[in-house]
A and B are shown apart, each in its own frame.
Chain A
Amino acid sequence: MLKQQIGVEFKQIFTFNRVLTWFLIITLPVWIQYLIIHDGYSFTDNIDLYGRLLNGIGAMIFPILVLFVFADTIIHERNNNYLTYTKIRIDFNTYLNAKIMVNALLSFGVSFLYAFLPFLFAQYINPQVTFISKVGVSGNLHGTVTFDQLLVFGPFVYGFIYSLWVGINGVLYATLPLILCLILDNSFVALSIPFVWYQGMSFVSAVLGISKFAPLYTVFPYSIMQQKLWTVFVPFTILLITAIVSYVYLKKRNSTEWSF
């Protein structure tokens, strides 16, 4: 039944509007950043250019972007009482798990591409076609931000692994609101919590002088000095535990009764 429902969710989500939304999520923030930096900025190397491309509006609102990959569908289902009519057709846990899995796969794919396509552009396409010319002219050395440690394995491994990291974070930031939507009465609050965490904790950690643990900088580390790689797992782990606890609570609560 789970496999069947995953198939159903995939069939339903692949609409023109949804695919267009994914396309815009992947390309629009980077395109805006490109327009800002393509003229008048200089970069130490391709990786520096890549960091600048990613470190724009998209990085600021990343938890909001990933919401619109799939997780927002559950809000309509809940608010319009549609979920009630699924309950008589499928076990709730199966339905929830299918939603979470499809959400995870799609948000991973979109988030990965969001990070990986600009890498391909900066590392392989731009040097060939030269959309942005002032690369390699600035005096700074590369290897100054977190994840640059991976460059010892070569730029492709760096770009791939870092994009995987952004993809995994996309999964987490998309999964938590989906679960919270089914726990909290107020959908707006449920959807806002991951973003408030992302921005709010970044502010708090800056005030406390521990910016290396800022959620924003652990996903997009281009505005902070290089930190040890383990630091990126701190906010990630907190969010992961929150998501797991929320999931367990939701399942436990709905094993007694539905409250939405």
Chain B
Amino acid sequence: MSLIEVRNVQKSYKGLTIFQDIDLTIEKGKIYGIVGPNGSGKSVLFKLICGFVRPDHGEILIGGEYLHKDITFPKNFGIIIDRPGYLGNKTGFGNLKSLAMIQNKIDDEQIIKTMNLVGLQPTAEQKVRKYSLGMKQKLALAQAFMENQEVLILDEPFNALDFESVEKLRSLLLNFKKEGKTIIMTSHNQEDIDLLCDEVYRINKFKLEEL
């Protein structure tokens, strides 16, 4: 059974077509790359898979369950979509703690471990509103990784990261793959795609085509 299945999905916004009858099958334990020009619909595809938007036509299955029928949102997904999200008046740890408390699956140790993993200092008192773009991106990565999710949906995960952090993240994603996690990502950097992805799809003229 496929982990994620997108079947005959159509989507348009205010008369503007984004997708026409796209199909996509995601198998466990692989890294998938989605490429396409700005505005081609990469983020919309991710939002469709996460259940944030509904397809106009077609269906999406997550682990064999129909999105919006059997489940309202996929379980065990870690995501970055559009841009990092944060509470500016809290520290990095405070932000992650706030999100972790919702499902209460992990303890503070796991949060601290994840912050160290992405290169953030867990004990720093700095509020997130004072973070640089790169630090906010690392915080977004930490929230996606911290609950040890099976599927990672990462929209431009390398955004705003310095060279060293990019190298570290690449290695981290490859390790996640070895652990059996499934990753779907976008990147404008072809090197990231070439280095990491097992399968690559391009959004072209409202369709998804395998490269």
Q: Which residues of A contact B (CB under 8 A)?
A: 4-5, 8, 11-12, 76-77, 80-92, 256-258
Contact = CB atoms under 8 A, between A and B. Distances in A.
A91 B101 contact: no
Interface in B75-120: 77-79, 81-89, 95, 98-99, 101-104
Contacts of B72: 91-92
Given A4-B104, A12-B98, A90-B103, A85 B85 contact: yes
A84 B88 contact: no
Given A4-B104, A76-B87, A85 B54 contact: no
A14 to B, nearest CB: 13
A90 B87 contact: no
Contact of B102 (A8, A77, A80, A256): A8
19 contacts: A4-B104, A5-B102, A8-B101, A8-B102, A76-B89, A80-B86, A80-B87, A81-B84, A82-B85, A84-B85, A85-B85, A85-B140, A87-B52, A88-B50, A88-B79, A89-B99, A91-B72, A257-B52, A258-B53
Contact of B85 (A8, A12, A83, A256): A83
Given A90-B102, A257-B52, A258-B52, A82 B74 contact: no
A81 B88 CA distance: 11
Interface string B15-49: 00000000000000000000000000000000100
Contacts of A88: 50, 73-74, 77-79
Nearest to A85: B85
B121 to A, nearest CB: 21
B73 A87 contact: yes
A84 B82 contact: yes
Contacts of B79: 84-85, 88
A135 B72 CA distance: 62
Contacts of B81: 84
Nearest to B89: A76
A89 B98 CA distance: 11
Contacts of B98: 8, 12
A12 B101 contact: yes
Contacts of A4: 102, 104
B143 interface: yes
The dominant DSSP class at the A interface is helix
What bracket does the count of chain B residues touching chain A fall in?
20 to 34
A92 B54 CA distance: 14
Contacts of A258: 47, 52-53
Nearest to A4: B104
Contacts of A84: 52, 79, 81-82, 85
Nearest to A73: B87
Contacts of B143: 85
A124 B87 CA distance: 44
A80 B85 contact: yes
A89 B96 CA distance: 12
Contact of A77 (B77, B87, B103): B87
Nearest to B104: A4
Nearest to B149: A88
B102 A86 contact: yes
Contacts of B78: 88
Most A CB contacts (10 A, CB to CB) among B47, B85, B89, B140 go to B85
A89 to B, nearest CB: 4
Contacts of A76: 87-89
Given A12-B98, A77-B87, A81-B84, 19 more contacts: A5-B102, A8-B98, A12-B101, A76-B89, A80-B87, A81-B83, A82-B87, A83-B85, A84-B81, A84-B85, A85-B79, A85-B99, A85-B143, A87-B50, A87-B52, A89-B99, A89-B103, A90-B102, A91-B73
B12 to A, nearest CB: 12
Contact of A80 (B52, B77, B88, B103): B88
Nearest to B13: A257
A84 B153 CA distance: 13
Given A81-B82, A257-B52, A86 B99 contact: yes
Contacts of A89: 99, 102-103
In the A-B complex, the 7 residue pairs with the closest CB atoms: A81-B85, A257-B53, A82-B85, A89-B102, A85-B85, A8-B101, A258-B52
